[in-house]
């Protein structure tokens, strides 16, 4: 059966509408003048402009939209614990499985989350978008090729290092970080302001970039955008990919509100359904290479906050007040970068200056938030197991995560703690929250589950164009494609790999 509102045949079907699916759709749309593209997502459309970053909405509207992203099962929605930095699920996300109080924090990834909405996690993300460095970078590609793709990704996401105006507090933090850590880097590298995906706005908060920025003109119309070649199907889940031999022929979709199932035929399919649900969909479709769901890695995340009583104020007053609705990012006045380096620094640090003046019970002085992400040791046994008998809330194969930290991972987390203690001391601040290793999954940077490789030897799922081994026209996208151990926030990297996938799809559709 086909759906009366959707085309029964398209050139490209994209499953998932986050930044990565949006990048594939936009690049193919621009490169192939005749291409008809359908992007299907199981989640609802939250805003008229598809994929608008919710940080750009006023607080009450934002909260309502976040609540609609939290999936079908109320037991997996974020708890109302009032914490400014959530350990388990941020607003707008939902846990992979309900939380149990007695479970160990670093085993089996209890904080694994996803977002189910048009735009995916990309309407909730913090927009930190630095480039991967040293051993984080893909050794499978010539360096220039990766850099070219990263430049396109930076353009698609409008990445800038000038998101915030300089403040006295920011200057103090930057100099302090430089004094402590610049000696760890090769000549010409060091700490600096953080590359962020946004457009700076003098006197106001930056305009945050979501998948809408990546989609560009395709985000601005209703269900049909541009010249009718591109459509977004919301609340439309891909249940199964259809294939014959080396060719994917299309997919079985379900419109969730009505339960109507229908098939769409496609010349190429790109599955960009996050690092957990992309392998789930392949598995449900009977595509089960040995590496599928394996090499799962998340970046051990260490978090602390410091109050610098006698320091300069952070600078919010300089750009006006904000309506504080419990989202700490609205109080941010600057973000700084302590980059990864190999050898030298296995953690990647993100340091925020925050004006605390609207916070009850906290003196209005400089508040510094620190988040360190570590590069995890990658192992095949860290994996998702897909059930043959149990189903999840979306009636897809239930997922169980097998995951643990190694001695080396714990040493990295110990270094993160020591770094943050050194920053607090050098700033003359007092910890409001001492450095804490957050539960596994809390970074939301899951990688490796559909990883890229140079040859089809059982240790990878796709080639360096993100094409699934054994298929001519099936592609995967998202953080799951990244095969290296990274500490950097991975979205820019994944969008760059999607730019390469889109070039391969476009060449195929053009018939090159
Ligand atoms: C609060 C928060 C802060 C973050 N901050 C940062 C940051 O600062 N920097 C950074 O790099 N990363 C950050 N991230 C992570 C970042 O958002 C993700 O890396 C990014 O969104 C991944 O993009 P994606 O398109 O691969 O997947 P997603 O954005 O997760 O989108 C996947 C989409 O697939 C859909 N889907 C899944 N299964 C199916 C199916 N079977 N059929 C149809 N649709 C399906 C989902 O509904 C979802 O919309 C953050 C995430 C959160 C939640």
Q: DSSP alpha helices (H): ranges in 381-456?
A: 407-427
In this prediction, residues 377-398 reach a mean pLDDT of: 98
CA dist., res. 421 & res. 427, Å (int): 10
CATH architecture of 1-74+111-156+210-291+446-512: 3-Layer(bba) Sandwich (3.50)
Q: At what angle do helices 143-156 and 19-31 cross, to 10 degrees?
A: 100
Length of the chain: 512
pLDDT confidence tier of residue 360, bands split at 50, 70 and 90: low
Q: What's the pLDDT at 37?
A: 97
Average pLDDT, the chain: 93
**What DSSP element (H or E) covers 253?**
strand 247-255
Greater confidence, 204 or 280? 280
Task: Supply the pLDDT for residue 153.
Answer: 98
Report, as residue numbers or ranges, the catalytic residues: 445
pLDDT in tens, 44-88: 999 999 999 999 998 889 999 999 999 999 999 987 766 667 789
Smallest CA separation from ligand 1 atom 2, residue: 125
The matching CATH number, chosen from 3.40.630, 3.30.1490, 3.40.50, 3.30.410, for 159-208+300-374+404-439 is 3.30.410
Domains in the chain: boundaries? 1-74+111-156+210-291+446-512, 159-208+300-374+404-439
Ligand 1 atom at minimal distance to the Cα of residue 494? 26
Paired tokens of 215:
């989609």
Closest among 342, 355, 322, 308 to 485, alpha carbons compared: 342
Q: Which of 274, 392, 441 to mutate to test the pocket of ligand 1 (most atoms within 8 A of CB)?
A: 274
Out of 70, 117, 121, mutate this one to test ligand 1's pocket (max ligand atoms within 8 Å of CB): namely: 121
Question: Which numbered atom of ligand 1 lies nearest the CA of 119?
Answer: 49
Residues having CB closer than 6 A to ligand 1 are: 15-21, 40-43, 90, 93, 115-117, 120-122, 124-129, 237-238, 272-274, 277, 281, 444, 478-479, 489-491, 494
Q: Residue by residue, what is the 3-state secondary structure of 286-313? A: CCCCCCCCCCCECCCEEEEEEEECCCCC
Mean pLDDT score, 342-365: 83
Q: What is the SS3 assignment for 67? A: helix
234 contacts 41 by C-beta, under 8 angstroms: yes
Quickly state the pLDDT bin for 317 (edges 50, 70, 90). Answer: low
The pLDDT value given to residue 1? 54
CB 259 within 8 A of CB 394: no
Supply the DSSP symbol for 328: G
Query: Of 201, 55, 203, nearest to 126 (Cα)?
Result: 55
Q: Are 371 and 302 in contact (CB under 8 A)?
A: yes
148 alpha carbon to ligand 1 midpoint, in Å? Answer: 23
Nearest-atom number in ligand 1 for the CA of 274 is 27
At 80 the pLDDT is 72
Q: Who's near 217: CB < 8 A, 6+ residues apart? A: 225, 226
Across the range 358-377, mean pLDDT stands at 84
The predicted structure's pLDDT at residue 223? 47
The pLDDT score that the predictor gives to residue 226 is 58
Separation of CA 275 and ligand 1 centre (Å): 8
Mean predicted confidence (pLDDT) in 335-364: 87
**159-208+300-374+404-439 matches 1-74+111-156+210-291+446-512 in CATH topology:** no
| Atom 47 of ligand 1, residue of closest alpha carbon | 116
**180: pLDDT strictly greater than 70:** yes
Average pLDDT over residues 298-312: 92
Residues 460/470, Cβ–Cβ less than 8 Å:
no
Q: Which H helix or E strand runs over 154?
A: helix 143-156
pLDDT digits (tens, 9 = 90+) for 143-176: 999 999 999 999 999 999 999 999 999 999 999 9
CA neighbor of 321 nearest in space, from 312, 311, 333:
333
Residues above pLDDT 90, as percent of the chain:
84
3-state secondary structure of 158: coil
- What CA–CA distances, in Å, run from 371 to 32, 198, 238, 438? 41, 20, 35, 10
The pLDDT value given to residue 359: 67
| Residue 121 alpha carbon to ligand 1 centre in Å | 3
Position 228 confidence tier, pLDDT thresholds 50, 70, 90: confident
Burial of 59 (0-12, 13-18, 19+ CB in 10 A): middle
Q: Which ligand 1 atom is the nearest neighbour of the CA of 22?
A: 25
User: Does 361 score more than 70 pLDDT?
Assistant: no
């Amino acid at each position: 059966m086909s759906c009366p509102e959707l085309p029964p045949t398209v050139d490209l079907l994209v499953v998932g509408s986050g930044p990565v699916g949006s990048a594939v759709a936009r690049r193919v749309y621009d490169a192939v003048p005749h291409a008809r593209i359908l992007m299907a997502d199981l989640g609802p459309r939250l805003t008229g402009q598809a994929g608008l970053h919710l940080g750009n909405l006023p607080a009450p509207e934002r909260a309502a939209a976040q609540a609609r992203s939290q999936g079908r099962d109320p037991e997996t929605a974020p708890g109302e614990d009032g914490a400014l930095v959530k350990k388990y699920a941020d607003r707008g996300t939902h846990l992979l499985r309900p939380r149990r109080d007695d479970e160990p924090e670093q085993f089996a990834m209890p904080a694994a989350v996803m977002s189910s909405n048009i735009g995916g996690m990309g309407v909730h993300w913090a927009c930190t978008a630095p480039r991967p460095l040293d051993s984080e970078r893909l050794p499978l590609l010539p360096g220039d090729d990766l850099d070219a793709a990263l430049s396109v990704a930076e353009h698609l996401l409008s990445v800038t290092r000038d998101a915030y105006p300089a403040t006295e507090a920011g200057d103090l933090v930057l100099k302090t970080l430089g004094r402590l850590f610049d000696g760890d880097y090769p000549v010409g590298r060091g700490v600096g302001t953080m590359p962020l995906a946004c457009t700076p706005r003098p006197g106001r908060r930056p305009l945050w970039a979501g998948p809408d920025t990546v989609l560009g003109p395709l985000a601005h119309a209703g269900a049909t955008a541009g010249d009718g070649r591109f459509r977004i199907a919301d609340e439309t889940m891909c249940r199964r990919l259809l294939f014959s031999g080396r060719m994917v022929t299309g997919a079985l979709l379900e419109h969730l509100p009505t339960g109507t199932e229908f098939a769409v035929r496609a010349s190429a399919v790109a599955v960009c359904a996050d690092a957990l649900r992309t392998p789930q969909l392949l598995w449900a479709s009977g595509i089960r290479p040995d590496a599928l769901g394996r090499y799962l890695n998340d970046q051990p995340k260490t978090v602390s906050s410091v109050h610098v009583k006698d320091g300069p104020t952070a600078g919010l007053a300089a750009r006006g007040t904000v309506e504080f609705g419990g989202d700490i990012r609205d109080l941010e006045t600057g973000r700084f970068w302590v980059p990864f380096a190999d050898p030298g620094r296995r953690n990647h640090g993100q340091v925020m200056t925050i004006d605390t003046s609207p916070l009850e019970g906290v003196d209005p002085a400089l508040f510094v938030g620190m988040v360190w992400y570590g590069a995890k040791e990658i192992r095949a046994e860290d994996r998702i197991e897909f059930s043959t008998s149990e189903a999840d809330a979306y009636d897809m194969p239930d997922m169980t995560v097998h995951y643990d930290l190694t001695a080396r991972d714990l040493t990295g987390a110990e270094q993160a703690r020591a770094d943050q203690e050194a920053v607090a001391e050098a700033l003359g601040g007092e910890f409001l929250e001492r450095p804490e290793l957050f539960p596994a999954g809390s970074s939301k940077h899951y990688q490796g589950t559909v990883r890229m490789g140079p040859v089809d030897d059982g240790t990878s799922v796709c080639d360096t164009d993100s094409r699934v081994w054994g298929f001519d026209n099936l592609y995967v996208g998202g953080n799951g494609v990244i095969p290296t151990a990274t500490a950097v926030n991975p979205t820019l990297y994944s969008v760059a790999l999607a730019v390469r996938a889109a070039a391969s799809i476009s060449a195929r559709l053009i018939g090159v």
